[in-house]
Amino acid sequence: MNESEFNDLVDQTFDSIEDSLEQLDVDFDQAESVLSIECADGSMIILSRQRVSSEIWVAARSGGFHLGIVDGIWNCAKTGETLRGLLERVLGEQMGEVVNLPIRPA
Amino acid (1-letter code) at residue 61: R
- Alpha carbon distance, N-terminus to C-terminus of the chain: 13
Fold of 3-95: Metal Transport, Frataxin; Chain A (3.30.920)
The pLDDT value given to residue 9? 93
Q: How does the average pLDDT of the chain come out, rounded?
A: 92
Give the tens place of pLDDT for each residue, 9-27.
999 999 999 999 988 878 9
Q: Express each pLDDT in 58-80 by its tens digit.
A: 999 999 999 999 888 999 999 99
User: Is residue 85 a contact partner of residue 92, using CB atoms and an 8 Å limit?
Assistant: no
Q: What is the pTM of this model?
A: 0.91
Q: pLDDT, tens digit, for every residue of 43-58?
A: 999 999 999 999 999 9
